[in-house]
Structure 1
C-alpha cells in the first residue's frame, strides 16, 4: 500500500487507514483480528481508535490484538481523548487538562503501549480554554506519551485557533468527508492546508450508502436498520444522494470495479487528504476496501464525480 506524509511532518502513513468505530458493536473480536491481520499484510499502517468507540469496547478489542496478532511497531496508532461514553445517554465532553491526560494514561495502560503515534483532542470543548487544551497536547509530546498530536471534530476556525496555540504543532485533523458529505472543503480543508495540517477523511463511504447497498431500500442487517445509527444513513437517502450513488455505480461498471472502490478512491486522492479511514463490519467488507488501493481513477471520471456531487 502506498504511503503519504502527514501535513508538514515527517510521519508517513498508509493512504488507506483502518477505522475501528464498528468494533464491539458490529464487529466481534475474531473478525477484528482477521481485519487487522489482513490490513497489515496489505501494507496498511494507520489504525484509528478511541476510548469513545463502541462505548469503550473497540479499544479493548484492539488491546487484545496488539502483539498477539500484529506487532505494535508495525502500526501507526491514532487515538483520541475528550469524549467519555455514558450508559444510556449522550457522550460526555471534557477537554480539561485533567481529563485529557487521565484519558491518555488510561488508553496507554489498556493498549499496553508506552505511547500513541498520534494523539487527538477528539472534539471542540467551548468550556475549556484553548491554551489549556494546547498545554495538554504539548505535554503529551514532551513526556513521550505521544509522538504527534492532532485534532478531530473541529470546524475550520477551531482548527486554526488550536493549531496556533500548540507549541509542537498539530500534524492532522480528522473529519467526515465523502462524495455525499463535502462540507469539509469549505473551511476545514483550506484551514488545514494553510497551517500545514494533514487531513484524515473519516466515513469516506458515507456509512455504506456509496456502496449502493441502499439503492433498493434499507437491508435488514444494515446500519440503516439500526435505530441508534439510522439517522446518519437517512441524511444521505435523498434525491441528490441517489444521483451521486448512480454516478458512482455507473463509473464502477465502466471500470470493472466495485462502487466501494470508486467512492473510496475519489476521497483518497482529493487535494489535502493524507489518509482515508475506512471501517468494515467483517473481513469480506475489508477485502473490498483494500481492493480500492489498486484503483487510480481516470481524471475524467474523478471530475465527473466531482461535478455531480458538488
Structure 2
C-alpha cells in the first residue's frame, strides 16, 4: 500500500487507516485479528484508536494482537485522549491531568512505551495552553512521537497549531482528524483550508458516510447493520434522510459504470481528495474491509470525481486550484 507523509512532519503512514471505534463492542476478538491481519498483509500501517473506545477495550485488543499478528515496529499507532466517563456519562475533559492519565492508561492497555500519534479527542473546556502543555510533555518524555487534533473546527485547529509554533521547543501539531465524505463536506469550508495553510496531515473518519455510501441502506434497514443497532442507530440516522439519496444513487451509478463497488467509489473520492492523508476505515470484519484494500490500484477518473463533487454539494475549490 502506498505510504504518505503526514503533512510537513516526518511521520509516514499507509494511505488507508484502520479505525477501531467498534472494537470491543461490535467487533469480536476473532474479527479484530482477521481485520488487523488483512490490513497489515495489504501493507497497511496506520491503526487509529482512542482511550474512550469501548472504555479502553479497543486498545486492549490491539495490545493483545501486537507481537502476534504484527510487530510493534510495523504499526503506526494513533490514539486519542480527552473523553472520560464520569458518573455514568461521557464528558470531554481536556485538562492536563485528565489527558496524561488517559495517555498512561493507553500505553498500559496497548502494551507499548510510546504511541506514534497522540491526539486530543475533542475541543474541551480547559484552557487551550493547559491542554497543549500535555502534548508537549508527551513528546518530551518519549511517550508520543507526534501529536494531533481530533474534531476541532477550523479556527480551533488554527489556534492550537499557531500556539505550538509560537515558541521553539513546543510539540508541533502534525495532524487533524474530522468527519469527511461525500455526505459530510463541511471540512472543506474551514478545516481543510486551515490544514493546508498549516502543513498538517488529515485523517477523515467515516469516509463512507457512516456506511450509507456503500448502498446497503438503499432499500431498507438491514438487520445486523450499524444503522439497525440500538447503540449506533443514532449515528447513521442523519444520513438516511431524503437529501442523501441522490448522492448515494450517483455513487451507485458511477460504480456500475466503472466496474467498482459503491464502497470503492466513495472511498476513492475521499482518499484522493486534495489535502487527505489517510481515510480511517471502520470495517467490522475482514470481508467488509476487503473491497477497500482491493481498490489500492484504482483511481477515479477526473470527470467522475468532479461529477460527484457537483451532486454532493458543489465544486471543490481545492480540486480546481493549480496549487492544491
Normalising by structure 2, report the TM-score.
0.93
Deviations 1:128-171 (A, max 9, x none): 11111111101111111100000001111111111122222101
Deviations 1:208-241 (A, max 9, x none): 1000000001011111111221122111112221
What residue in structure 1 maps to residue 50 of structure 2? 50
- 1:56 deviates by 2.2
What residue in structure 2 maps to residue 205 of structure 1? 208
Distance 1:308 1:231 in 2: 25
In the alignment, which of 177, 194, 198 is matched to residue 195 of structure 1? 198
The alignment yields a C-alpha RMSD, in angstroms, of 1.1
Distance 1:5 1:104 in 2: 24
What residue in structure 2 maps to residue 129 of structure 1? 127
Residue 262 of structure 1 contacts residue 295 of structure 1 at CA under 8 Å; is this kept in 2?
Answer: no
What residue in structure 1 maps to residue 70 of structure 2? 70
What residue in structure 2 maps to residue 80 of structure 1? 80
- 2:180 counterpart of 1:182: no
What residue in structure 1 maps to residue 98 of structure 2? 99
Gaps of 5+ in 1: none
What residue in structure 2 maps to residue 231 of structure 1? 234
- 1:86 deviates by 5.4
Q: Where do 1:284-299 residues align within 5 Å?
A: 284-299=287-302
Distance 2:190 2:64 in 1: 39
Residue 260 of structure 1 contacts residue 292 of structure 1 at CA under 8 Å; is this kept in 2?
Answer: no
Distance 2:273 2:85 in 1: 32
Distance 2:239 2:98 in 1: 35
What residue in structure 2 maps to residue 149 of structure 1? 147
Distance 2:109 2:116 in 1: 15
Q: Structure 1 residues 134, 251: closer, same or farther in 2, change over 3 A?
A: same
| 95-104 vs 224-233, greater mean Cα deviation | 224-233
Distance 2:276 2:89 in 1: 30
Distance 1:228 1:279 in 2: 15
- 1:288 deviates by 1.6
What residue in structure 1 maps to residue 318 of structure 2? none
Q: Is the partner of 1:201 in helix, strand or coil?
A: strand
Gaps of 5+ in 2: 165-169, 314-324
Residue 56 of structure 2 contacts residue 109 of structure 2 at CA under 8 Å; is this kept in 1?
Answer: no
What residue in structure 2 maps to residue 140 of structure 1? 138
In the alignment, which of 248, 252, 259 is matched to residue 249 of structure 1? 252
What residue in structure 2 maps to residue 16 of structure 1? 16
Distance 1:290 1:54 in 2: 26
- 1:110 deviates by 1.4
Residue 8 of structure 2 contacts residue 174 of structure 2 at CA under 8 Å; is this kept in 1?
Answer: yes
Distance 1:206 1:86 in 2: 30
Detail structure 1 runs of 4+ shifted over 3 Å in the superposition: none
Size of the alignment, in residue pairs? 308
Deviations 1:103-148 (A, max 9, x none): 111111111111000000111012x111111111011111111000
Q: Is the partner of 1:24 in helix, strand or coil?
A: coil
Q: Is the partner of 2:278 in helix, strand or coil?
A: strand
Q: Is the partner of 1:275 in helix, strand or coil?
A: coil
What residue in structure 2 maps to residue 165 of structure 1? 163
Normalising by structure 1, report the TM-score.
0.97
Distance 2:223 2:243 in 1: 23
